[in-house]
Each structure stands twice: as C-alpha cells, then as structure tokens.
Structure 1
C-alpha cells in the first residue's frame, strides 16, 4: 500500500524561466492541503538550465523529485514519470500552469472507482478560455472534431494538459502508450475507451500563454499523423 496520496507529474522541456514560479505555487498549495504527495519533474532533453532549477527545488523540498532523460517528447516524459510514481492517484500538468493548480488538483480529487480517469476540459458549460487568439482556438476545435470522428467520440477536449488517473489505471494505460509527442493524449484516451475505462470531463479555467511552444499548424499536422498511427496500432493489436 502506498503512503502517497497524489503523484503530480510535470514534464519540463526548456522551462527554466517558468519552472521556479510553478514549483513554488504547486508546493505551497499541496503543502497546505496536508495530504501526502510527491512532485515528479521530468526534464526531457532540455538545453537550458531547467535541470538545475528543478534540482535546486528538490534539495529544498523532500517531496519533490527530479527525473532526467535525454529523450524528448511530452508523452515520453509523462510515461517515465508514471513509471516512477508512487501515488494512489496520478495527475499530470503543464509546466506553465495554464490551469490554476487548485483546479488541476480538483481533477484528482474526483478520481474514484467509478471515475478512474478525470480530465480537464476547456470546452462546454462552466469552462473558460482566457486570452487565446481566435485563429488558434478555431484550429483547435477543428482538430478536436477530427479526433471525435476518428478516435474518441464524445470527448470535447482531448488536448488540455491536465489529466488525472487512479494508479492502476495509469499504469495500465501508459503501459500500452507508444506515441512520444503531443499526440499521446489522444492515444491515451483511445486506449482507455478500448480497455473499458470511463472518462469524465470537468470544466476548467485555462489561460493562454503567449510563450507556448505549440505551433497550431505544425502540431496539427503532426497530430493528424499520430491519429493515423493510433488506428494502425489498434489494427495491429497493440492495445489489447
């Protein structure tokens, strides 16, 4: 039986500027909750001082661990973090905290036997998207429509970077995950559907960060390729 209630995984690629404030906010909030937790910062192939920043934070907080990998890819980083985690519930979040930490942790609070997967949604009643350029939003909605058609019908937002799982569910899903990049979200939810896990969406507040590395055109093309890869993997029996 694990003594850790929550494992928070933060993938970090070249985040030396944003990471200090993020870790300060996250450790403050989780510490005030009074429940056993761990923070796993997975630094994947960074070329700046992200690793040094995370290491300094880990030296100050025994609940924080630094995991280093030379391999890039958000999906790969989170998979490594899940494999190293010890919590009863597993939550991953973006390093820019585009959704407030209290709303992100609220996802994990809703995880139970009936709801082993709870994901953030920027669409639908109760959600708020702040500061996002209209063209970016429009392209995102187009991609989501394609995802609903080809992979996970009924899910309004597959790409928000805040998702929570029960421990057993996380280990099962990430054990079958193959896509290393941004398309891993779709693959993860596709595997969940394939393996019979219910998925619950909760509305969140999401703030657009102008320094985001997401390129709507380039990444949409890449994720379309990942969609095709997911269907091919399924046809080959990889998700059985």
Structure 2
C-alpha cells in the first residue's frame, strides 16, 4: 500500500500541471475533479492544469472544456495529431510557472508525488517518480518490459535512474527550456530530457512513487516497445558520434 511520509507538508510555490490526454472521455471529468480535491485538501491554491488532448477522436475535449467552464484553474489544449511529446511541448509553451509536474490523466500514481516533487524541485531541476523504488501493481508483461528497458538504458547510456515513463515527472522550466525544440513528438522525450540533462550536469533527483495501473494501455505495447528500444539505440548512437567528434577534434 502507498505510504504517506510527507505528512502535512504543502508546497508554497505555484505549480503547473501538464496532463496529456488521448480518448479519455470516460475518466476526464472525474479525474480532473479528483485532482482538484487533492490540491484543495493540501491547501495548494496557486496552480494551473494544462490538459492537452493529442489526437483524441472521442468527447475528451468537449467534456474537459465543460469541466473548465467558469474556472481559471484548467486550460484545455487541443492538438490534431497524437503524440505525448507533442502534448508536453504544447503544455510547456503555455506554462506560466517555473515548476511543472507531469501526470497521466488516469492518476494511477499516489498523488502525494505532487508534494514530494514540488519539494524536490527546491534542489533539483528534474524529479523522477520511480515505480521501481516505490511500488507498483501492473501487469507482468509491462513490468518485464520496463525492467529490460532500464537495464539497456544503464548499459548504453550509463544512466542509473529507474523510471522513464511519461507520468510522475517534474521539471524546472528554465533548466529544460533549451532542450524543448529538439524533443521527440512521442514518448522518447522523457528519455531524451533525462539523458541530455544528465550529460549537461542538470540536477536530477529520483523519488519513490506508488503506482496502481491495471487498466488496458492506451498504447499498442508491441509498437511502443519497438519504438522505445529503437529510440534508445538512436540516442546511444547520437551520443557516441558526439563523443567521437570531441575526441577527434582534440
């Protein structure tokens, strides 16, 4: 079960939440309200939610806009093409605050990640919520694929972090802004941010997070697996070429 080591600690800085959405009409209204209730309970009053629909073909945008009506805390951004990287970049372009927390709309993580991440950004530029060091209820195939990806990332990029998924990440806007024009339009953008930030000396912290994600994935897992491992190889190759140019140029 998730633990609550944070007690009543509350962030006193404004937060931007970037929440990508793809065909989530069944949960969008309830989960926006759930997030609002959590923030109210924690007395987090200065925030904005940027819900970015990327390629949705159902009523996600319509329902989200109804939830935003008469409120100033929720902005709905509609993109015609699918891509969580696109959604992230669109959200960053609209973010008003320096501290950004990225969440999946299904809210499968323990929401106390929000307060932990906000605190972590006092000293770090990137905060990674890790299911591996926290806890998780997910299918065995997704856990196995994640473990294999982590091992490959450690071997190829020499990164010691243990989570490269989309949700439960937080950033200082000023620190990652130089990378934004170069980020992938799909899910590889997280790996890019972590790898490039680590290379450039950006302060990265990893904290445990609890995740209960047993619903059917919005991604085709086979396609996503090939894409993620392919993106890892491309990133490794790019880093090798940059390193070789540096050696040859000396």
Q: TM-score, normalised by structure 2?
A: 0.84
Q: What is the rounded CA distance, in whole Å, between the counterparts of 2:69 and 2:241 in structure 1? A: 45
- Measure how far apart 1:234 and its partner are: 4.3
- Secondary structure at the residue paired with 1:41? strand
Aligned partner of 2:117 among 107, 120, 129: 107
Partner in structure 2 of residue 211 of structure 1:
216
Partner in structure 2 of residue 61 of structure 1:
71
Q: How does 1:71-220 map to 2 (within 5 A)?
A: 71-112=81-122, 114-124=123-133, 127-130=134-137, 132-159=138-165, 161-177=167-183, 179-220=184-225
Mark the structure with the bigger radius of gyration: 2
Q: What is the rounded CA distance, in whole Å, between the counterparts of 1:176 and 1:196 in structure 2? A: 18
Per-residue CA deviation, residues 34-76 of structure 1 (Å, 9 max, x unaligned), is: 4310000011111000100111111142111011111211111
Q: What is the rounded CA distance, in whole Å, between the counterparts of 2:21 and 2:105 in structure 1? A: 6
Q: What is the rounded CA distance, in whole Å, between the counterparts of 1:152 and 1:49 in structure 2? A: 43
- Measure how far apart 1:233 and its partner are: 4.6
Moved over 4 A (4+): 232-237
Partner in structure 2 of residue 20 of structure 1:
29
Q: What is the rounded CA distance, in whole Å, between the counterparts of 2:14 and 2:158 in structure 1? A: 29
Does the Cα contact within 8 Å between 2:176 and 2:193 map onto a contact in 1?
Answer: no
Partner in structure 1 of residue 226 of structure 2:
221
Does the Cα contact within 8 Å between 2:139 and 2:214 map onto a contact in 1?
Answer: no
Q: What is the rounded CA distance, in whole Å, between the counterparts of 1:35 and 1:88 in structure 2? A: 16
Distance 1:106 1:200, change over 3 A: same
- Measure how far apart 1:185 and its partner are: 1.3
Coordinate RMSD, CA, aligned: 1.9
Q: Could you list the runs of 5+ residues in structure 1 that have no partner in the other structure?
A: none
Distance 1:97 1:6, change over 3 A: same
Q: What is the rounded CA distance, in whole Å, between the counterparts of 2:198 and 2:225 in structure 1? A: 22
Q: What is the rounded CA distance, in whole Å, between the counterparts of 1:25 and 1:148 in structure 2? A: 36
- Measure how far apart 1:199 and its partner are: 1.2
- Measure how far apart 1:184 and its partner are: 1.7
Distance 1:105 1:94, change over 3 A: farther
Q: TM-score, normalised by structure 1?
A: 0.88
Give the number of aligned pairs: 229
